[in-house]
Amino acid sequence: MVSFDVVSLFTCVPTSDASTIATDRLQADTSLKDRTDLTPNQLQDLLTTCVDSASFQLRDKFCEQSAGTSMGSPISPGLAGIFMEEFQQTAIATADHRPKIWLRYVDDTFVIWEHGQDNLQLFLDHLNGLHSSIHFTMEQERNGSISFLDVEVSRREDGSLARRVYRKPTHTDRYLNSASFHHPKIKSSVDRALIRRAYNICDQGHLHKELHHISTALQRNGYQPKQIETQDPRSSTPPGRRVPYIQSQLDKAPSSVTLPYLGRTSHYIQRILSKHNIKVFHTAPLKIHGMLTSHKDRKGDYEKSAIIKHSHLEDHTINWEEAHLIASIEQWYPRRIREALEISKHPSVPQDIGFSISDIWQPLLTSRSDGSSIP
């Protein structure tokens, strides 16, 4: 058993190749016209625009990413997946020796190899030689077991494979504490998520041990045994058949409101609003993260004001004797419009363009019917 991992997949994806592959698939998709009026070439232009528009600020400088896709961008997983699908098909089809099993999830691949150690190294060299941007690392099984994502796969004596939940050596079993100030549904979701993962991953030989581990860990985090449900939370519906969803009256509520969670007070308010067919969503109150200083670089004093920056760089000062008030407007909206008008008359003064005014008004703003300028 072997696992292959792509080094820094998202930032190393050849975007031009991935865009071409995506376009070819769109052109071969006969149902595309039923979903959109755009052509494959138009979609490719949009895709290229999204990929090539990655920029970020670092130390008062704006930088543009020149290769790969952005970390955290919603388009990155899809584009990387399209490229890797084509890559793996080519890799397996052109290999001298093919793996018995090849299971890939994003940048991690689980492989069962039956052609010896020497040919395994040649296969790794083959993978790394297909594209200059894609580089694989390899990890082989130790003591008959190997980890793949959150699954530990081990070989039994009869040659079959056993599965159990994999935890890193640094894992501390620290979960959301029962005494923490969170909505009860959030706390109960901790138990459900862990139990569901156990039933999805573990075989029958490891399931009981995993459930016992989860129960012990949750009790260490303050949960009572009666709060821990170890029954299979998965639906009994056969695979491939969707569970019919019946909307409750509250799900059909025309209105909803989001409120900070304040303990019993929130439950009391929720009961009142539910009687009036109003659905309530709870958010966490002020967190420590919101009280800490932002990690982003702060703008200097000269960057905050164009006037100060201009005065400092050009060694200019304000002539206070000739300075005067243009207009005094208390209302915010009319004041913003007047500021935009002044900016349009003197575009070199501020950095901010002000209120956006359509170009259709420019002839009216720049001249009167008699040819004179508007003051």
| pLDDT, position 245 | 46
pLDDT one-digit tens code per residue, 347-371: 665 556 667 777 777 777 666 544 5
pLDDT one-digit tens code per residue, 72-117: 888 899 999 999 999 999 999 999 999 999 999 999 999 999 999 9
Residues 311 and 350 in one domain: yes
Residues 23 and 111 in one domain: yes
| pLDDT, position 193 | 93
Residues 14 and 98 in one domain: yes
Residues 375 and 270 in one domain: no
Q: Is residue 126 part of a domain?
A: yes
Question: What are the start-end ranges of the H helices in the chain?
Answer: 9-12, 15-28, 32-35, 40-51, 75-93, 116-128, 184-201, 204-220, 264-275, 288-291, 301-304, 306-314, 332-345, 362-366
Q: Is residue 207 part of a domain?
A: no
Asked if residue 346 has pLDDT above 80, the reply is: no
Q: Is residue 40 part of a domain?
A: yes
Residues 279 and 329 in one domain: no
pLDDT one-digit tens code per residue, 288-322: 777 776 666 666 666 677 777 777 777 778 788 88
| pLDDT, position 66 | 82
Q: Is residue 267 part of a domain?
A: yes
Residues 330 and 275 in one domain: no
Domain that holds residue 17: 2-140
| pLDDT, position 350 | 54
Q: For 20-34, 46-60, 317-331, 355-369, which range has the lowest pLDDT when averaged over its residues?
A: 355-369
Q: Is residue 148 part of a domain?
A: no
Residues 278 and 346 in one domain: no
Q: Is residue 106 part of a domain?
A: yes
**Residue 299: closest CA among 289, 314, 310, 309:** 309
Report the residue count for the chain. Answer: 375
3-state secondary structure of 333: helix
**Residue 313: closest CA among 301, 321, 323, 322:** 301
Of the three residues 117, 140, 163, the one that is the final residue of a domain is: 140
Q: Is residue 113 part of a domain?
A: yes
pLDDT one-digit tens code per residue, 171-226: 999 999 999 888 888 898 999 999 999 999 999 999 999 999 999 999 999 999 88
- Tally of structural domains, the chain: 3
Of the three residues 140, 166, 189, the one that is the final residue of a domain is: 140
Q: What is the mean pLDDT of the chain?
A: 84
Q: Is residue 355 part of a domain?
A: yes
